[in-house]
Amino acid sequence: MWHKMNHSLFPVKYKFLMKLALVFALVFLPLYGALAVDDDNLFELGPGSGVTDIVGNGNPADGPDWADIFDANGNAVNLYGGAAAVFLKDDLAIGTQEDRTIFVNDANLHASPSTWQWNTNPDLLPQVDLSNTYLYAKPNEAGELVLFGGVERLYPAGMKYVHIEVNQQVIALDKTPACGTDQTGGTSDLPPCEFTGERTENDLLFLVDYGRRGVFASLEAYRWNGSDWEFLGHLTAQGCDTNDVLCAFNNASSINGGPWPNYSRFGEIQTLPANGFTEFGVNVSQLLKGATPCYSTVRAGSSFQKPLVSKMIDFALGHISMCDAGITISDGGVNEVADAHEFTVTVTKKDGSTGYTWQPASNVLVTGTAVAQNGALAFFENGQTCTTGVDGTCVLTVNSPPPGRRSFRPARTSPSPAGEPFLSPPNRRPKPGWTRRFRSAPGWTRMNTTTNQITLRPFPQGRIFPPT
């Protein structure tokens, strides 16, 4: 459920008598609901009172359009309450240009992505050469996940089959294009290059078929059931199905292609011709009977024939971050060494249960493991676990009796995981009546995506204080 997080908490420069490693296990529960796709004002889908297009109509009540979400470079600049958005800009084999991301060796949709191979093709035909593809994920008022997709085609009259696959795991290339000599697995690893990652149950596949002159013919939806693609539903004409779960539209006339570059089979253009653009909307939670998955990968693909029965040709790959977890720990203050030291742990998350926005994570079991160093004897008072409340916080109390020797010998200067050095004051013995105290502060966090655990390591600072 949780995806890779690298959230660093930078400490001030500390000398330490003790290190604490706290491991936090996160457990969350989702929420669900039910609403339609095209009439919730989530997104400006379809022709409305005009033509299916890319540029918004300026009415906030209708929701954003593609040119409201992405800038001229394809960067998502405003999600309008959405969970994520991604713009896939595929290489084009136009003129002297080469498409560096092409399937080779008969890759097909039934096979595991980890078996696919890819390479460069300078002679790709426009019938299968992908252009711009984009996807937008947004929850509706009932908490259901809705996906919107958009596809631009170089050659509307010639390109017949396009598909979009969304995956919960990260599906990636083994190297940054171009493949070249490969050798990602050593000198004996020659081209073609490979994919990494696997499918997960409830990954989704959308197939779009076109008829003569690029007219929309059908949209089919499938889910991965763990071993193969399972049919969920389809449209055989533009519009929406009876339950408003699936909707799809073509542009009936030429349209403004948005602020980013658009292309035909001859080169760059500024206006997309009729049937050169398709957009669709899908209520994922209704298709999946209440599920609100956390998707990470979006891949567009093309083929000469129906992709479920033939090999795939071109592809474009991108990644989104719909779900995440965050954790912080408070500064425990300055206490005498033998005094209790309280850490307030704050856990936040975003997923389907929070409407894909950051919210406090309640009812999370936090388990701490103390690792004492430099002569400290760290232990947890009142147990090593706590459970977060409605505000996403709970408290772990740590203590350490004084070391056996009376003199204060600080640790030597050494780099921290954040790259900042710990500064040690000069070695000295405490004067009569002085006490040793320690201060702890956040150090760094690291998430294990296999066990869904977050390790947080604070760095206490040892100091000598005069009597008060």
Sign of the CA dihedral running 293, 165, 67, 146? negative
- For 383, the enclosing helix (H) or strand (E) is none
Residue 104 in contact with residue 117, Cβ under 8 Å? yes
Q: What are the tokens at 345?
A: 């742990």
- pLDDT at residue 2 is higher than 60: no
Q: What is the mean pLDDT of residues 247-261?
A: 96
Q: For residue 266, what pLDDT band results from cuts at 50, 70 and 90? A: very high
d(CA 406, CA 174): 56
Q: Enter the tokens of residue 344.
A: 């307030």
pLDDT band at 267 (very low <50, low <70, confident <90, very high): very high
What is the mean predicted confidence (pLDDT) over 424-440?
39
pLDDT confidence of residue 336: 66
> Backbone phi, then psi, for 396, in 5-degree steps?
-110, 135
Question: To the nearest whole number, what is the mean pLDDT of the chain?
Answer: 79
d(CA 89, CA 81): 24
For the stretch 70-76, contacts whose Cβ atoms lie closer than 8 Å and that sit 24 or more positions apart, written own/partner, are 70/134, 70/258, 70/259, 70/260, 71/259, 71/260, 72/259, 72/260, 73/260, 74/132, 74/134, 74/260
Task: Give per-residue pLDDT as tens, 34-51.
Answer: 345 766 789 999 987 689
Parse the chain into domains and list their residue ranges. 21-29+324-465, 60-319
Q: Which two tokens stand for residue 314?
A: 């071109």
Mean pLDDT, residues 159-164 taken together: 96
Can you give the pLDDT at residue 411?
Answer: 27
**Would you call the peptide bond into 316 cis, given omega within 30 degrees of 0 as the criterion?**
no
Q: Are 22 and 343 in contact (CB under 8 A)?
A: yes
Predicted pLDDT at 15 = 28
> What would the two tokens of residue 103 be?
């399937």
pLDDT at 373: 60
Q: pLDDT at residue 333 above 50?
A: yes
Residue 214 in this model has a pLDDT that exceeds 90: no
Question: pLDDT tens digits for 79-138?
Answer: 999 999 999 999 999 988 999 999 999 999 999 999 999 999 989 999 999 999 999 999
Closest to 171 in 3D by CA, of 337, 317, 332, 358: 317
> Measured between alpha carbons, how far apart are the two ends of the chain, in Å?
51
Task: Determine what percent of the chain is predicted with pLDDT higher than 70.
Answer: 74
Residues 6+ apart with CB under 8 A from 382: 397
